[in-house]
Copies of this chain bind each other. A is one copy, B any other.
Amino acid sequence: MSAMIRIVSVEHGLSPACEIQKALAHTDYQVATTSAENLFTDIAGTHPDAILLPLSLPDCIAVIGRLRSLGPHAIILIAQHDEPLAQALAAGADDYLLAPVSAPLLHHRIHHAITYQRHATTIHELKSQLDAAEAARVRAESASQDFCRDLSHDLNNTLTGMIMTAEMLLMEKPSERTTRVLQEMIELADEIDSSIKTRRAAMSNQP
């Protein structure tokens, strides 16, 4: 993961923000603290990768819901043993840690939750790319079919003209030598016609 991971830790009452600051010191993470009051202004400006949120925050479920709708950041709860986690996770939080926070566990869960959010973003992007690529493939395949159909059609008209010209002269009973040459030319024109048909059939059968 990139070295520029931005984390916002929300301070509230007896929340272990200081403990978290210490746990994340000497890491590649860029950690900022904020208050519940300034949280939404702050994240609008900084677009953090992860937000650490004390579950003791007033209206925490509503805050989580609003945060979830704002971007692909990871939301990690810092909870006390007796706090109810399930509702907060159902509201959109990605993960949780119980206080006192263990530094290695905090690192691991931040990494995991950011990866989860990035995967979701990646899937969304890949689906868009796949839709575009499929549309381009369909366009290219139909352009190719149209091209070959039009070319075959043009060549067919010319060949028909050629054969008709030869056949009209043949009806006038020309010399034996001319008759032989004209018949040979008609055969060659038929050969060209069947070459075109074979090539088109081969193209239609391609995977």
- What residues make up the interface of A, taking CB atoms closer than 8 Å to B? 85-87, 89-90, 94, 98, 102, 104-105, 107-109, 112, 115-116, 119-120, 122-123, 126-127, 129-130, 133-134, 136-137, 139-141, 143-144, 147-148, 150-151, 154-155, 158-159, 161-162, 165-166, 168-169, 172, 174-175, 177-178, 181-182, 184-185, 188-189, 191-192, 195-196, 199-200, 203, 206
Contacts and interface: CB of A to CB of B under 8 A. Distances in A.
B85 A102 contact: yes
Nearest to A202: B150
B86 A206 contact: no
User: Is the contact region of chain A dominated by helix, strand, or loop, or is it mixed?
Assistant: helix
A189 B147 CA distance: 19
Contacts of A133: 130, 133-134, 136-137
Nearest to A97: B85
Given A148-B147, A169-B177, A195 B158 contact: yes
Question: Counting chain B CB atoms within 10 Å of each CB, which of A102, A143, A151 scores highest?
Answer: A151
A89 B108 contact: yes
Given A119-B120, A199-B154, A166 B181 contact: yes
Contacts of A199: 147, 150-151, 154
A173 to B, nearest CB: 12
A31 to B, nearest CB: 19
A104 B162 CA distance: 82
Given A120-B119, A123-B122, A166-B185, A86 B102 contact: yes
A195 B140 contact: no
A3 to B, nearest CB: 20
Contacts of A107: 86
